[in-house]
Chains A and B, each alone.
Chain A
Amino acid sequence: MKLLVVLTCTVALAQDWTSYGKNTFGWRYSELDQINTKTVMRLTPQWMYQTNVPGKNETTPLVFGGMMYITGPSNNAWALDAVTGRPIWSYKKAAPAGVNLCCGQVNRGFAVHGNTLFKVDLQGTLVALDAKSGTVLWESTLEDYKKGYSATSAPLVVKNLVITGMAGAEFGTRGFIDAYDAETGKRVWRVNTVAADASWSGDSWKRGGGSTWITGTYDPSLNLIYWGTGNPGPDMDGEQRRGDNLYTCSLLAIDADTGKIKWYFQFTPHDLHDWDAVGDPVLTDLVMNGRTVKAVIQANRNGFFYALDRTNGKVLLSKAYTRITWADGIDSDGRPVPIAGQEPTEEGKRTCPGMGGGHNWQATAYSPLTGLYYFTSAEKCMLFYRTKQAFVEGQWYQASTIGRDEPGNGRIDAIDPKTGKLAWYFETVSSPAGGVLATAGGLVFVGDAEGYLIALDARTGKALWRFQTGGTIIAPPISYALNGRQYIAVAAGQTMMTFSLPKL
C-alpha cells in the first residue's frame, strides 16, 4: 500500500501538500507521523494569519518550497511563509456586482503545475499566477457570469492540463468540466454535464444545472479523471424537466486526453431534493470477494455510500449511512428503488435526508493505515416545497423552498469501504461544517461549526485533542513538514492557523 502512495505521487513529497486532495486519488492522507496518537496532546498553535476578509473560508492550502498558498473569499489569495505565517504577496480581483452565487463568495483553493498556481475567480474565470511573485500570467473565461455562471472550486492539474469545474446550477446554467493548457490558458476540451438528449423533456437541458463545484480526482494508470456533478435545475420542480436528466447527480469518468466520457454513473436519476453528487470521488483498491478491485468510493448526498468499479462504473456496493425515507435501497444496476410520494409538493413534503443530504461537499479522507474512509454526515429531515418559477437568464432558478432547518446532530463517520459498515462515529452537536484529514500518526483531524479543531483516534474515533479557534471551521485541515517539524494547518473564521509540537 505504501508503494502505491509513492507511485501515485511521483511529484509530491510527503512534507508538501500540492493538490486539493493531497494525492490525485483524493485521499487527504498525510504520510507524516510526528504528530501521532501519543504526541498529539502536546500540539500547540504556531502562528495565525488574519486575512481580515469577511466571508466563509473553504480553502485547502497548498504548501511547497517553504511557502503556503491560500485562497479566501471575494477573490482574495495570499502567499505566506510556512514557518512564520508572514505574508509574502497577495492577490485581489474585484468581483463584478452582477455575479450570482448560491452560497457565498467562496473559494476552495489553488492547484499547482511547476511554479505556476491556478485558481478560479467568482466571475467564472481561471487565473494562472507566478508562485514566486503572484503575478498574473494568463486569465481565461470559462463562461459568461451574466448568464449565471460562476466558479468556486480548486482546479486539478493532470499532466499539462488544468481541469476546472463551475458553479451556478441554481441560475439556469448548463454545467461543464473544462481542461485548459497550463502554459497558454487555451481551452483543450469541455465535457457538458447536461446531455442534450431524451433524458430531458423539451429543451429543458439548456438550463439543466449539473454544476461541478468540487474538485475531481485522477487515476494515471487508467488515464481517467473522476468528477461529480450537481443537481438538475430547477431544483424541486421536476415537471419542467421530465426524464432522468443525464448527467446530473452523477459521477463521470473522463479520458484525460480527449475529454470523452468513458462511463457515467447516475446516483439519483431525476433528483428533486438538491442532492448533488459532487463529494470527493476517492480512488482506492479494495479487496472484495477475494479479488482486488479498482474502486471509486463516495458517501453520496442522497444518503447512500457507494463503491463503484472505477474501470467501468458498475456498482460494487451500496449501503445507507444515514436515515433515508425516499428509497428502499439500490438495485443491482445501481438505480434507487424509490418510495412513492416523496416528491416535493406545493404544501410541503417531509423527506430524509434533508437538503444538505447525509454528506454534502466537505472534504473526505481515506487512510491506507486503517483502511477506513472518513467523512462528515448529518441525520436530518426537511420539508421540501415545490414552487413555480419562470426562467430569466442569469437569475435564481430553483422553483423550490425548504422548511425551517430542523434541529439535528451531525457525525464524523468512519466506514469500511469494502463492506460499507460503520467502524465508528463521533457525534457532533450540530450539522458538520468542515472537512477531514487523515494522517500516518493514526489521527483524523476535523473542524466543527463551533470553532474547535479536533484530533480523533483514526481507529476508535476517540477525541484525543482539541483547540478552540474562535471561528467556525468550514475548511478541511491539511498537514505539512518543514525543518523537521510536522504542522497541521486549517482556516478558521477569517484566520489561517497552524499547529505543531513544541520545539525541543
Chain B
Amino acid sequence: MRLAYILCIAALCPAQDVTPVADHSGDAETGRWTFRIFCAPCHGIRADGGRGPDLTLGTYSAGDRDEDLARVISRGVPGTEMAAYAGRVSDEEIRRLVAYIRSVAHTSDNTSIRGDIAAGETIFWNKGGCGQCHRTGTKGSSIGPDLTRVGRQRSLAYLRASLLQPDADVTPGYATVTVVTRDGKKIVGVERNFDNFSAQFVDLSGKYYSFEREDVISMKREPRSLMPSTYGQVLNETEVNDLLAFLSSLRGGR
C-alpha cells in the first residue's frame, strides 16, 4: 500500500517538486498533533529543530518533494538517528504529517542568516580555534563532535545556542569527566565511556585516559561541555553569523 502510494505520486506528478500536497482542510492540523507525538522529541515541538533538523526551512536533506518527505518518515534515514515509522504511523497519517511540515515551511527566522561562509571557515580554523576539537571531513580533531554534516543535522537556532551557550544541550557521549587521582592530580576531559566502575576520556590535548573507580579518589561525569563559553565575547556579531553560515553549509561530502 505504501509503495503503491509512493509510486503513484512519482508517476503522476514527476514535475511536482515543491508544491504542497493539496491541503484538504484540517490535514495540516491533524498532522501537527501526530507530529507532536512522534517527531517533536527530536525536531522540536514547533518543528524548528533540536537534535533533529529544522523542518521550517522549507528545504530537506533527503529531497524536497512530498514523496521524499513521505519516504523518509516511512523508511527513516539509515546511518542517522531518523527512525522508520512505517507500521507505527499509517500512510494516511504520513500524508498529514507531510501536509503539516509543508504548512510550517519558511515560518521561522532560521533562514535569515546573513553570513559569509568563506569568512566563517577562516574563523573556524583560526580565530575560533574550533578545529582544535572538532572535525569536518578529514581535517581537524576528534575530541568534540564531528561537524562534517552538522548543517544537515542541526538547526541554525540550535547551532547558535551551541556556539554561545555550549552547556545548553551537550551531545550525548560528550559530557565532561573529572578524575582526581590518588596523588591528588585533577584530570578533566571529554567522555568516551563512563560507567559505574570506570571512566575513559580524552583531555583537550587529545591524550586518552582510562581509570577504574577503586584506583582513584573520585570520578564524576557532568552534563556540561568543555567548549569555551566565551564565543559571544570573543567573536563580534558579524563573525558569529559568518561562523554559523559556515556551519550551516557543512552538509557532508567534503
Residues of A within 8 A of B (CB): 97, 100, 347-348, 385, 387-390, 392, 395-396, 398-404, 407, 428-429, 448, 450-452, 454, 463, 466
Contact = CB atoms under 8 A, between A and B. Distances in A.
8 pairs of A and B residues whose beta carbons are closest in the complex: A450-B195, A407-B223, A387-B36, A388-B33, A401-B37, A401-B36, A387-B33, A401-B40
B106 interface: no
A429 B41 contact: no
Contact of B195 (A389, A404, A429): A429
Contact of B194 (A385, A395, A429): A429
B163 to A, nearest CB: 19
Interface in B30-82: 30, 33-34, 36-38, 40-42, 45, 50-51
A348 B90 CA distance: 26
Nearest to A400: B37
Given A385-B45, A396-B88, A404-B51, A448 B195 contact: yes
A404 B51 CA distance: 9
A401 B197 CA distance: 34
B223 A387 contact: no
Interface of B: 30, 33-34, 36-38, 40-42, 45, 50-51, 87-90, 169, 175, 193-197, 221, 223
A395 B197 CA distance: 42
Question: Which residue, of A398, A403, A407, has the highest number of chain B Cβ atoms within 10 A?
Answer: A407
Contacts of A385: 36, 40, 45
12 contacts: A387-B33, A389-B33, A392-B90, A396-B89, A399-B37, A401-B37, A401-B41, A401-B45, A404-B50, A448-B195, A450-B195, A463-B197
Contacts of A348: 45
A147 B40 CA distance: 26
Contacts, number: 58
B31 to A, nearest CB: 12
A290 B37 CA distance: 51
A contacts with B: majority SS: loop
B37 A396 contact: yes
A335 B219 CA distance: 42
A502 to B, nearest CB: 22
A390 B30 contact: yes
Contacts of B33: 387-389
Nearest to B44: A404
A452 B196 CA distance: 8
Given A401-B36, A429-B221, A454 B41 contact: no
Contacts of B38: 401
A428 B196 CA distance: 6
B176 to A, nearest CB: 12
Contacts of B36: 385, 387, 401
Question: Which residue, of B34, B193, B197, has the highest number of chain A Cβ atoms within 10 A?
Answer: B197
